[in-house]
């Protein structure tokens, strides 16, 4: 069985840019694909105006506002005069750039593309967006900050080439073979990168480390061995001529991709899938890769000077997610987004990683290792604590994964009833870990997080995962939480409507059916489709007449259609049944009191 597998993707989006960002209007071609179908579902042409001012702004931001603050994994400080440069001024420069960038994307010539994306993509879809351009300034723009992407939490936007060579067939290997190259390390801790690599599960990966090699040693590894992934950690830079350089060792030996390209081409032909350059200013490396007909299929580079701390955190976040089976494009996106937590000290940290992919290949995920049918406990102190926690009934369950997960879920419910909430949470998490496809503990954990801990955002994610597994109750709760979010887009309402339909098609229990009908009526209310909203909400009340939120929603429908007497009746029912500790009911309670106060 191959260590790598194609990653699941619902939609793949290609945006091709032709022209010069600074001097000539850009022609933009949009194509949306279902990965299972070779021809595009839809293609659209649009235009973006040339924007020399924005081009100057992005260059000024990186060269004048950002670089003077950091040396990072660059081999030497970049000689730029830094006057009045501070963290605050850099952060302000980033905000200004982000605003200008999003204003540029509101160009009327681009409107058709923007509207097509909103119409064709669903917020719940796993989406990969590939920007195909060779324009270096376009690559420097903060595409991850595109406001449209806020509608699509599972979308990742990466770079690609306008023209690319067809990839070599993927080689079958039981373990992922990784070559770690630790380069020049003056004033940075490449040993941390080594530890992160070596912490990966050995049943999934095979690792070899080259510590400050010379050019011959590196070239020999590329020619004589087959690798799935290469990681370089150390100093690097892009020269004034745009060439990417890696510093192989503290003796000062440098290397460009030109100088080992034959070896890299051999590595690609032997199955190389990914190269990560965890070093500074990697766009020059990316540019060299794009020049050849045989390209490294996927690359991760750093956009500019990267502080050592940021480089280490990114690698840790990425490897952790990737080793857990998260698709490469989403693992990189999650790792990049987590860097935002460092931006109080390292502005623009989440803008630094750039992911490039050959447009002809699918994104990959690491296949989980084969699981033993039985869970084996070692006689160590932590394991004995776990055995004590699970109780004698678990030990009598023959250690089968599925029964054990069900037992943990039942134990969690019992602990919840006893108000032992932390213990219940641990049981649900254990059941979820043992059987990832078991929806009920995810739902139970979400309920606990939402109702008892008030951790709505975490609960929403758990509900969403249980909803994807088809649990109607989870669909109802996930849609409810999403509808509490203000200013949803039409695309989001459309996606939530489809989810609600899926709930109703499964013929759920009456209480769940009432919840899904209420949610569907709520969606129609938000869309101001009054007759359909009234029909669904009345159907929900026919199943459950004591739902204060449903009464609240239908009262709003009757108000909007000027049926005052009917609205007043439902406001009274809202007042009768509402509980102020439930968010949406508390809001409805206030509205009912306002309407009914003489």
Query: What is the CATH code of the structural domain delimited by 371-469?
Result: 1.25.40.10
pLDDT attached to residue 398: 36
Q: How many whole angstroms separate alpha carbon 570 and alpha carbon 573?
A: 5
Cα 451 to chain centroid, rounded: 26
Please tell me the predicted confidence (pLDDT) of residue 81.
42
SS3 state of residue 238: strand
> Tens digit of pLDDT for each residue in 147-167?
999 888 889 999 988 876 666
Q: 231: exposed, middle or buried (C-beta count within 10 Å: 0-12, 13-18, 19+)?
A: buried
Q: For the chain, percent helix, then strand, then coil, each to nearest 5? A: 50, 15, 35
The pLDDT assigned to 397 comes to 40
Question: Using CA atoms, how far apart are residues 470 and 463, in angstroms rounded to an integer?
Answer: 11
pLDDT at 400 over 70: no
Q: Residue 364 pairs with which residues in a beta bridge?
A: 6
Tell me the C-alpha distance between 155 and 124, whole Å.
9
Q: DSSP string covering 467-501, please? A: HHTT-HHHHHHHHHHHHTSSS--HHHHHHHHHHHH
Fold of 4-160: Nucleotidyltransferase; domain 5 (3.30.420)
Instruction: Note the CATH number of domain 176-366.
Output: 3.40.50.1460
pTM: 0.61
What pLDDT is recorded for position 323?
87
Question: Cβ distance 128 to 12 under 8 Å?
Answer: yes
Residue 546: φ, ψ to 5°? -100, 20
Two tokens at 41?
A: 């579902």
| Residue-averaged pLDDT of the chain | 83
Domains of the chain, residue spans: 4-160, 176-366, 371-469
pLDDT score, position 199 = 86
Asked whether the predicted pLDDT for residue 371 surpasses 50, the reply is no
192-220: pLDDT as tens digits: 889 989 888 887 889 999 999 999 999 99
More confident position, 142 or 71: 142
Q: Is the dihedral of CA 78, 80, 83, 87 positive or negative?
A: negative
**Cα distance between residue 309 and residue 303, in whole Å:** 16
Instruction: Note the pLDDT tens digit of each residue in 260-282.
Output: 878 888 888 888 999 998 887 66
Structure tokens at 361: 């290949």
3-state secondary structure of 435: coil
């Amino acid at each position: 069985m191959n260590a790598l597998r194609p990653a699941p993707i619902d939609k793949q989006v290609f945006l091709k840019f032709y022209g010069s960002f600074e001097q000539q209007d850009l022609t933009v071609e949009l194509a949306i694909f279902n990965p299972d179908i070779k021809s595009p579902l839809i293609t659209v042409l649009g235009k973006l105006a040339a924007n020399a001012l924005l081009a100057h702004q992005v260059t000024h931001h990186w060269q004048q506002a950002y670089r003077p603050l950091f040396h990072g994994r660059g081999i030497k400080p970049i000689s730029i005069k830094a006057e009045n440069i501070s963290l605050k001024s850099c952060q302000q420069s980033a905000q200004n750039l982000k605003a200008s960038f999003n204003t540029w994307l509101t160009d009327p010539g681009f409107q058709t593309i923007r509207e097509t994306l909103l119409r064709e993509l669903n917020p719940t879809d796993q989406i990969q967006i590939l920007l195909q351009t060779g324009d270096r300034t376009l690559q420097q723009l903060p595409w991850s900050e595109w406001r449209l992407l806020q509608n699509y939490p599972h979308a990742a936007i990466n770079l690609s080439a306008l023209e690319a060579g067809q990839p070599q067939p993927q080689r079958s290997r039981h373990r992922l073979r990784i070559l770690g190259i630790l380069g020049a390390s003056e004033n940075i801790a490449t040993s941390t990168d080594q530890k992160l690599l070596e912490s990966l599960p050995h049943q999934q990966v095979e690792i070899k480390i080259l510590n400050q090699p010379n050019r011959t040693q590196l070239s020999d590894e590329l020619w004589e061995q087959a690798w799935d992934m290469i990681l370089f950690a150390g100093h690097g830079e892009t020269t004034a001529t745009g060439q990417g350089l890696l510093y192989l060792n503290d003796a000062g030996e440098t290397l460009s991709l030109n100088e080992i390209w034959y070896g890299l081409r051999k590595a690609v032909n032997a199955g190389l899938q990914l190269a990560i350059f965890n070093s500074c200013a990697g766009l020059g490396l990316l540019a060299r890769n794009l020049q050849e007909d045989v390209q490294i299929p996927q690359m991760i580079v750093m956009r500019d000077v990267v502080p050592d701390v940021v480089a280490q955190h990114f690698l840790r976040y990425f490897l952790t997610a990737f080793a857990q089976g998260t698709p490469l494009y989403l693992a990189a996106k999650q790792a990049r987004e987590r860097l935002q937590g460092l931006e109080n000290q390292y502005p623009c940290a989440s803008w630094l990683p750039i992911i490039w992919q050959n447009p002809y290949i699918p994104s990959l995920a690491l296949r989980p290792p084969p699981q033993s049918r039985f869970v084996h406990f070692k006689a160590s102190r932590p394991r004995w604590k776990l055995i004590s926690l699970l109780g004698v009934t678990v030990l009598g369950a023959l250690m089968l994964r599925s029964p054990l997960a069900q037992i943990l879920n039942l134990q969690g419910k019992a602990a919840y009833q006893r108000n032992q909430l932390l213990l219940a949470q641990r049981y649900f998490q254990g059941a979820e870990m043992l059987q990832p496809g078991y929806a009920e503990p995810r739902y139970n954990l979400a309920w606990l997080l939402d109702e008892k801990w008030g951790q709505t955002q975490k609960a929403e994610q758990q509900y969403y995962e249980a909803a994807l597994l088809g649990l109607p109750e989870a669909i109802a709760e996930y849609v409810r939480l999403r509808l509490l979010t203000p200013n949803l887009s039409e695309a989001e309402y459309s996606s939530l409507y489809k989810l609600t339909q899926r709930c109703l098609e499964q013929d759920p229990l009456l209480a769940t059916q009432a919840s899904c009908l209420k949610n569907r009526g709520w969606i129609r209310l938000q869309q101001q489709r009054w007759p359909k909203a009234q029909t669904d909400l009345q159907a929900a009340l026919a199943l459950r007449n004591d739902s204060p939120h449903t009464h609240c929603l239908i009262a709003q429908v009757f108000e909007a259609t000027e049926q005052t007497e009917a609205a007043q009746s439902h406001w009274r029912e809202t007042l009768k049944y509402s509980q102020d500790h439930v968010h949406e009911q508390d809001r409805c309670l206030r509205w009912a009191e306002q309407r009914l106060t003489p």
